[in-house]
Chain A
């Protein structure tokens, strides 16, 4: 079996949750794997992250260089090509960094790219068998990947239960000297923080959240009236923001706000993982959707098969009366 590596994302000296998910996934590829973590960055933060993940990884390769202060995927890809062993299996979290890094890395390593994996069934000879989703999670597929020449595998954040055993007792190797030439044609400038809106959806205990099923800008009012009657706040999925019907600060999801309400009413929302990724704290989720097969019904506590344009006004009226 080829060497398995995990790329560790980290911020402010703390490894991302995915660090423990990647090592768990590696064990599903090879139960006896001695998995190597790769930690890249600059300054004391990198040392801290490397030391911390050594508890979960057999080996940690550390690259601590000024040139890696804000390591964009172009730089990291170059570095990885310089240092990885042939036929390496590289695990990457499928976050916005991993999406930037993974596909191109597989080409540069002449290995196989396996996108957004949600489950790993194991290896049979040179074939790795995984589970993916298509059509925003409406259907799943079994996929085999030929890993003869190695693979870059992007793993969906949250799909693998973290390995919390902390029993690897790994060693940290400073390999900064091996990084090689890191000149690239893309340079990082700055991070512009998301705009703050006039309503803070993260502070509300009850959210009435609307998705593409609301169909028209004018219909947002139907949700607003329900929210007013409930003493709730209106939030939404991404397409509503893309259409400029509500401001960005109302968007729930990985590229929007992370909310922790007590009650979440998902109205005309299909339940994509990027949307659900923004809902934390196990709220009571009510899904109202006209398609009984919508993936949201798999994660909601209570489901109602209905047209929201009919149902929400009925609910509003009944609440007002009671």
Chain B
């Protein structure tokens, strides 16, 4: 099975405090630590597991800038066979549809049976997978937490409300968005990264993909982000201050009053 996995380079929220910059035009990007979108690691792991079972290859792809190469390399260190970087000044400021249409152009140039995305990325939009499927006219299932290969059909579980699992049969080729917890993504050590450090990763721009530069990027975006801000949220929590002993004493009193302690 030829599998394509879409991955995105995102600020690592476990490593950074995300703050709005001074004029509210962006988040504060100085000193940000980036990594692969959490969901995408699960997607790549799942692709590797499927390939190891039924044969084929895993290609990881991203729409990004030069620095996005590092996330492709990381996923190749996990075990993906190929990387592909879609990179062009014209792609900057694309909305979700722009990103999906670039991925579609790359899919049209290759031959893939299965395309995986993460369920969502840092923007919390959960949009690219479903858009890509519709553009390709492939069937789609989101929030997938189980995949069984059965000839040219997959049996997939979708995680729905309450943690219940909706089982579906879906025909290949198809697009699936992967939910966390579907597997346990393997650890990537320094050794693994070193092994792929000098692998050449091909880059494609608007001309290579045959996409009209005006249809993507900021010009093509029908959805535009105006600013970033932190909303005023009513009163918020009453913050307990003082030494640890004082805070602990206050908290115990409160817990007793609210029925949290017998």
Contacts and interface: CB of A to CB of B under 8 A. Distances in A.
Given A100-B141, A238-B181, A143 B18 contact: no
A286 interface: yes
Contact of A135 (B18, B134, B251): B18
Interface in B240-262: 240, 244-245, 247-249, 251-252, 254-255, 258-262
Contact of B158 (A100, A133, A185): A100
Interface residues of B, number: 82
B96 A115 contact: yes
Interface string B172-183: 001000001100
Contact of A322 (B100, B133, B245, B252): B252
Nearest to B138: A185
Nearest to B223: A145
Interface stretch (A43-51, A61-69, A104-112, A165-173): A104-112
Contacts of B238: 301-303
Contact of B260 (A103, A256, A262): A262
Nearest to A130: B223
A60 to B, nearest CB: 24
Contacts of B163: 194, 248, 251, 255-257
Given A115-B124, A139-B229, A304-B239, A107 B97 contact: yes
B138 to A, nearest CB: 8
Secondary structure class of chain B's binding surface, majority of residues: mixed
Secondary structure class of chain A's binding surface, majority of residues: mixed
A142 interface: yes
A231 B262 contact: yes
Interface stretch (B9-17, B48-56, B194-202): B9-17
B149 interface: no
Contacts of A255: 159-163
A72 interface: yes
Nearest to A108: B134
4 closest cross-chain pairs (CB), A and B: A103-B130, A303-B237, A263-B260, A115-B125
19 contacts: A72-B166, A107-B130, A107-B131, A135-B13, A135-B18, A185-B171, A186-B140, A191-B160, A206-B259, A248-B163, A256-B163, A263-B255, A265-B260, A284-B258, A286-B255, A291-B17, A302-B237, A303-B240, A305-B239
